Structure 1
Amino acid sequence: MRAHLLAAGLAGPVATTRETSLRSYRLFAARDPRLLLGLDPELPWRQRDVIELMADRCGVSADPRHTSGHDVIDPSRTLAALDSFADRLATAARRRAPVLLGTGHPHRLLGFYAALADALSAAGCAVLTPAQGDCVDITTRFGLRTYNLDYVRGVALVREPAPSPPGRAEGAHTHSPLPIRTALAAAAEAGGPLPELVVGDHGWVCGAGQLGFEAIGLGDTDDPALFVGEAEGRVSVVVPLDDAVRSDYYRPLTRYVLNRACLSQ
C-alpha cells in the first residue's frame, strides 16, 4: 500500500502546493468560515500553530520559511490513519450502527465512499439518507447558490438543480457544512435514527463533529480544519492524503480499508 500511495501521488509529494496550504493556514487562523468547514475551534490557533499541527499530522514542512513547491505527506502517517479509520468502520459494523456518508468531492471520492456504504449495509448497518431532495443555500465565490441534497449509492452529495433524474453520479464540489446540518436536522425532526458514525470529508466531517457526532474522514494538506477538529477531540480520525487524484487511484485504499475492517465481500 505504501508503494501505491507514493506512485499515485496520494502521499509523498502531492499536487497541493505549499503556497495553497499556507494560505489556508493563514485564513483558518483568521477564522475565515471558508476554511473552518463548520468547526468552531476552542483554542486560539495561530498560523504557526496550524503549521506545526499539520507537520505533526501530515508530515508537511514545519518551517514557515518554506513557502513554495509541492507539499509532502508522510505515507507512514497515511497508513496509520487508514488503520484507525478501518477500525472505526469495524466497530460500527459490529454494532450494526446507523451511518451517514457524504462527500464534497463526488467526482473523485464517490466510488470510495460508495464501496464503504455497500459493505456497511451488508454488515447490517442502516445507511441513512435523510433530507433527500431538500434545498441547501450555500455561499460560493460566485455568490449564493441553491443546491439539492441527493444520495448516490448511499453517499450524500449536493448538485445544482437540473432536470437530470436523482441518483445520477454528477455532483458539485463543496466544503460547506450546511449539507450535513440539513441532513442531521431532517433526521432529528423525523424522529431518527441519527447516525452513530459520519464518514466523509470537508464540511461533512467538521460539521458533524462540531454537533457532537462521531466523524471520520479524509483530509488534504490544505484542509486544516479536519486536523484541528481531530486535535481538539471533535473528529475521531482524519486520513492525510491528496483528495483530488483520479478516482480509480482510491480503489486500492478501498480494498485495504475493507480488508482491515473485515468487511470485504
Structure 2
Amino acid sequence: MLSTGALREHLLAAGLAGVVATTREASLRSYRLFAARDPRVLMGLDPEGSWGQSELIALMADRCGVSEDPRITSGLDAIDPELTLAALDAFAERLAEAARRRAPVLLGTGHPHRLLGFYGGLADALSAAGCEVLTPAKGRRVDITTRFGLRTHNLDYARGVAMVREPGARSSGCETGAHTHSPLPVRTVLAAAAERGGPLPELVIGDHGWVCGAGQLGFEVVGLADTDDPALFVGQAEGRVSVVVPLDDAVRSDYYRPLTRYVLNRACLSQ
C-alpha cells in the first residue's frame, strides 16, 4: 500500500503539487475571465456569488495553496501537497460510499490524453464492487464552441470513461479524445440517460465541464482541478461540488497511476 509520505514525495517529484507547470499569468487570466462570467471558464457553473478577482485569488489560495498576494503576477503557480492529500482522502471516501451503495456512477474527462488511465482505474474498481458504470449517448453528436469556432465532436467511451472525439478520430478504447472545458457533453449524456428511463448517476467523477455541468444540475460530483480552473473550487465553496482535488492536470499520464492506487486503497477498492 502506498503510504501518505510516499505519495507526498511523488506529488512533488512529478510536479503534480508543489511548484507546478501552470503559470501565474494563466491562472490570473482565468480568474479575470471567471469574474467577467466568461462561459469558457465557468464550465457550466452558474455562480451564486459575485466572485471578483480578489475573492477568487483568496479562494484559490485557501483551496490550492497559490499565492494570495495579487501583486505576484508572473512565475509558476504552487499547490500545497497537504491540500492535495486531504482532498484525495475525501475523494476516496466518496468512492467508498458509492461502492457500499452499489450506486450507478458516471466518469468523464476533458483531459483524456492525461487522465483517462486515472479514471479508467476507478471505473474498473467501482464496476468490480457492483456499481453500474454508465455509458449513455455513445456516438451522439455534440457541437462545442471553441476558440477556433464551432466544432463537431462525438461522444465516446474508453474503459468506461466518457470523452468527446473529433470526427474521424480512432476509437475502440484509444486515448485520442479531445481536450474540452465544455459542459455540453455531460448535459448530453445525462439527458440521454433520462430519456431512456435511467438509471441516472448517483456520483459523477471527472474534471472541467463534466464536474461543473453535472454539479450545476444537482448531481453529486467529485473531481480534479488545476490552479487555472477556479470554477470547480467555486462550485465546492457554493455547495454544488463535493470534493475537488487540487493538482496539475496536464503532466504525463503515468504520473497519475500512484494516485489511482492510493485512492483505491483508501476506499478499500483495491483489486
2:174 to 168, 176, 184: 168
- Displacement after TM superposition at 1:170 (Å): 1.1
Aligned CA distance change for structure 1 residues 147 and 73 (closer, same or farther; 3 Å): same
Q: Which residue of 2 aligns with 1:19?
A: 25
What's the CA shift string for 1:216-238, capped at 9, x where partnerless? 00000000000000000000000
The residue number in structure 2 matching 1:259 is: 265
CA shift, 1:164, in A, is 3.2
- Name 1:184's counterpart in structure 2: 190
- Which of 193, 199, 205 is the equivalent residue of 1:199? 205
- Report what 1:132 is aligned to: 138
Query: TM-score, normalising length from structure 1?
Result: 0.99
- Rounded to whole Å, the distance in 1 between the matches of 2:47 and 2:169 is 40
Match of 2:53 among 31, 47, 62: 47
Aligned to 2:220: 214
Any gaps of 5 or more consecutive residues in structure 2? Answer: 1-6
Against the structure 1 CA distance between its residues 163 and 33, is the aligned structure 2 distance closer, same or farther, given a 3 Å change threshold? Answer: closer
Is 1:78 the counterpart of 2:78 in the alignment?
A: no
- The residue number in structure 2 matching 1:69 is 75
Q: In the alignment, which residue of structure 1 is the partner of 2:159?
A: 153
Percent of aligned pairs with the same amino acid: 82
Task: Report how many residues are paired.
Answer: 265
**CA deviation digits over 1:169-223, x for unaligned, max 9?**
2110000000000000000010000000000000000000000000000000000
For 1:166 and 1:110, how far apart are their aligned partners in 2? Answer: 14
Amino acid at match of 2:83: R
1:241 & 1:160 partners in 2: Cα distance?
27
The Cα RMSD (Å) is 0.7
Are 1:31 and 2:37 an aligned pair? yes
Equivalent pair of 2:142/2:154 in contact (CA under 8 Å): yes
2:211 aligned partner, one-letter code: V
In 2, the alpha carbon distance for the partners of 1:260 and 1:2 equals 15
User: Aligned partners of 2:59, 2:65: CA distance in 1, in Å?
Assistant: 9
| Residues 80-103 of structure 1 deviation map (CA, whole Å, 9 limit, x = unaligned) | 000000000000000000000000
The answer to whether 1:232 aligns with 2:238 is yes
2:87 paired with 1:101: no
Following TM superposition, by how much is the alpha carbon of 1:163 offset from its aligned partner in structure 2, in angstroms? Answer: 6.2
Deviation at 1:166, TM superposition (A): 4.0
Give 1:156's aligned amino acid.
Answer: A
| Structure 1 position 53, deviation (Å) | 0.2
Give the 3 Å change call, closer, same or farther, for CA 220–36 of structure 1 in structure 2. Answer: same
User: How many Å apart are 1:168 and its aligned residue?
Assistant: 2.8
Q: 1:191 to 1:52 in 2, by over 3 A?
A: same
Mapped contact 2:169–2:176 kept (Cα < 8 A): no
Report the Cα distance in structure 1 between the residues aligned to 2:175 and 2:25, rounded to whole angstroms: 32
Alpha-carbon deviation of 1:118?
Answer: 0.1
Which residues of structure 1 form unaligned runs of 5+? none
Moved more, 244-253 or 168-177: 168-177
Secondary structure of the residue that 2:142 maps to in structure 1? strand
